[in-house]
Structure 1
């Protein structure tokens, strides 16, 4: 059985971290495999929304520290490891489709890194989130630290990183680390997925690109190209036609 599994139900893909016996601890191979999975999903125009979750009782306790002596023992190895972790989170953040993290149990360290790369985070009432890097003498990566800052603000980011304390889902909601707390986060994630799957994918992918600040890095050139593509698309023509005919549009991502 694969440590990263992917299923497709209609237009919704579900990616599951599948090592429940170790609370879904992520190995180096899994970071790389997750990146490949999301790149493939991002290129699949049949997929309109992606849900990321963990098998069993937890989302993920983060990196599998038991392999650090072999693969992350010094600065050089740590840099290579962080490149793989960042490549994974960039692949999640970079897909054009919305990504919803469904968080149960522990969501720690690298698990938080994964969840923060998603567009939305839905948590169970008993979920526990934290970044224990300070317990391991590790400096949390630049990308993940910047995402944490964007979500929770400077003071809360410092508290989380300086103290390595865990926060419950209600506190996480209060500070912005999760977006919703519900008894059945998967059900709510699927409800949101049903909504987003009906909307124009060119609109969503363009908005996601701009909101994630990628447009600042390229001077807005690709963002303008995405705006122009949508304005010239069959989907735009279909939307105008559907509006006139008082029906739902049938978007084809083209």
Structure 2
């Protein structure tokens, strides 16, 4: 793992902690005493960290979770009086929030959110940017923007709409309700209910790690572009990721492994 990535999570008890085990990185929101409320600096750190993890060729997957039995209660509203008090500060804050979710969504690695306890507001914002959401039986997901006179941002609303559809997205945003694990899975807000979501996510990512990383990265780029892109998917950009995989050593390895009836050993090159 690169030194640059290691330094991002350095220091004692970081608010955003990083652990790398083999090919999987675990990013943990680490303010359990505040139920992992996300501060402005944490938004900025998440953007820096996921951008760096995306460049690490040794990694094959990323798990995002929270410490202390909760994913996150959302943005740290207690600091709003100092960091989001004016229209100018609000704009700067939203730029930081969107940068964090964009970095998660844009990383070429598969990302799974392992959710226990509260996943509210800004916590949902982060979870929606992940490729998959695994939820514990005690999970409570919701977006309370309507109780704070906040309009949820365009990027996250687009992701929510792509996941759950128009009627469910309206219910979530209009009502400010909290939804349990079963309801979240039923409406498409989460993919899997698991007693130990982090362990289930780890196993899932380990399975994906056996597949060709260029295939996963290309599929993620195209699918996200089709489903949640701000502009129509650029055919040239899509063709570029297709061509990169077709010209790769991994493509040759996949063919040879298939012919030899053996598991492929992909390198991402």
TM over 0.5: yes
Counterpart selection for 1:127 from 139, 152, 157: 139
Relative to structure 1, the CA distance from residue 65 to residue 216 in structure 2 (aligned partners, 3 Å threshold; closer, same or farther) is closer
Q: Deviations over 1:94-132 (max 9, x none)?
A: 000100000000000000000000000000011001101
Native 8 Å contact 1:109 1:133 kept in 2: yes
Residue of structure 1 in register with 2:103 after alignment: 91
Secondary structure of the structure 2 residue equivalent to 1:7: strand
Root-mean-square deviation (Å): 1.1
Runs of 4+ in 1 over 3 A off after TM superposition: 214-218
Native 8 Å contact 2:222 2:233 kept in 1: no
Residue of structure 2 in register with 1:170 after alignment: 182
Counterpart selection for 1:191 from 203, 212, 226: 203
Secondary structure of the structure 1 residue equivalent to 2:245: helix
How far off is 1:215 after superposition?
10
Counterpart selection for 2:67 from 51, 55, 58: 55
Stretches of structure 2 that go unaligned for 5 or more consecutive residues are 1-12
Structure 2 residue 131 is matched with structure 1 residue 116: no
Counterpart-to-counterpart distance in 2, 1:94 and 1:124: 26
Secondary structure of the structure 2 residue equivalent to 1:50: strand
Secondary structure of the structure 2 residue equivalent to 1:221: helix
Counterpart-to-counterpart distance in 1, 2:137 and 2:231: 36
Secondary structure of the structure 2 residue equivalent to 1:194: helix
Structure 2 residue 236 is matched with structure 1 residue 221: yes
How far off is 1:218 after superposition?
5.3
Structure 2 residue 30 is matched with structure 1 residue 18: yes
Secondary structure of the structure 2 residue equivalent to 1:212: helix
Residue of structure 2 in register with 1:76 after alignment: 88
Counterpart selection for 1:231 from 246, 250, 260: 246
Native 8 Å contact 1:14 1:50 kept in 2: yes
User: TM-score, normalised on structure 1?
Assistant: 0.98
Structure 2 residue 116 is matched with structure 1 residue 101: no
Counterpart-to-counterpart distance in 2, 1:174 and 1:162: 19
Counterpart selection for 2:255 from 240, 244, 248: 240
User: TM-score, normalised on structure 2?
Assistant: 0.92
How far off is 1:217 after superposition?
4.1
